Amino acid sequence: MNFQDSSGHRTRKWESGFTTKRQAENRLGELLTQIETGLNVNASHTAFGQFLNEWLERYVSKRVRGSTMDGYRQRAKHIVDGLG
């Protein structure tokens, strides 16, 4: 899959190992959703904590109430702190 990242650079994302065409199509849909919402799909260069916070702010925060979001942020911090 080819796309432009948030800085305007052309990027290629390649994944393999799917056992069915449906699995590959589902993953493509996930990646397209990430691109549309502005999430970084190049996970090999992104720390988990950074990705989690980015996902919470860009995707989840638009779908939940403020108090729910506060709880999610606290849980995310706890998880990231636990991972080191």
Q: Taking residues 67-72, what's their average pLDDT?
A: 94
Does the CA dihedral 23-32-42-55 come out positive or negative?
negative
Q: Write down the pTM of the prediction.
A: 0.47
Whole-number pLDDT of residue 66: 94
Whole-number pLDDT of residue 74: 94
- Between 68 and 80, the higher pLDDT residue: 68
Q: What is the pLDDT of residues 27-53, one digit of tens each?
A: 888 877 877 776 665 655 567 888 888
Whole-number pLDDT of residue 30: 82
